[in-house]
Amino acid sequence: FGVLNALQAHAKMSYIEDTTDDSRFVDLPEHSRAPLRACLRCTLLKTFEAFIDYGCDNCEDLLELRDNQERVQQCTTTDYIGMVALMHPQSSWVSKWQRLQDMKSGFYAIHVTGELPEGIADRLRDAGAVVRAKPFAEMPKA
């Protein structure tokens, strides 16, 4: 994850659009050497510990990951390909390409493979929530 260390250093030193407004910066995963996990619903990338400490920025009300190790294990995965950093999801062409316009700023996996437990998947379906992860059989070749 040397790329993350470089991005983190750059993010700390850079200004975006000549402003000091901290809301314009993307928070990088705190433990950049720790393996990242992707939320199976929205593909947000964080460390296991960050999901436990803070939950998912986009899905916490649906998945209830905060302070729940078992739920983090069930609803996130290390099985993903690629990542993008989104700073302005509503206006970014990358967020349109990945269909992430309604998500919060952050790092997202490009392709996530895995399946939510049946009860959680049923609850998300009933709520009309989109699950972005693909079943294992649909994983593209790296």
pLDDT of residue 93: 87
Phi, psi of 65 (to 5 degrees): -85, -30
Residue 108: helix, strand or coil by DSSP?
A: strand
pTM over 0.85: no
Q: Which domains does the chain have, with CATH numbers?
A: 2-138 (3.30.40.210)
- The β-bridge partners of 36 are 47
Q: How far apart are CA 78 and CA 109, in angstroms?
A: 10
Measured from the Cβ of residue 7, the count of other Cβ atoms closer than 10 Å reads 17
Q: What is the pLDDT along the chain (142 residues), one digit of tens a residue?
A: 444 554 444 444 333 444 455 555 555 555 556 799 999 999 999 999 999 999 999 999 999 999 999 999 999 999 999 999 999 888 888 888 888 899 999 999 999 999 999 999 999 999 999 888 888 665 555 5
pLDDT of residue 59: 95
pLDDT of residue 7: 47
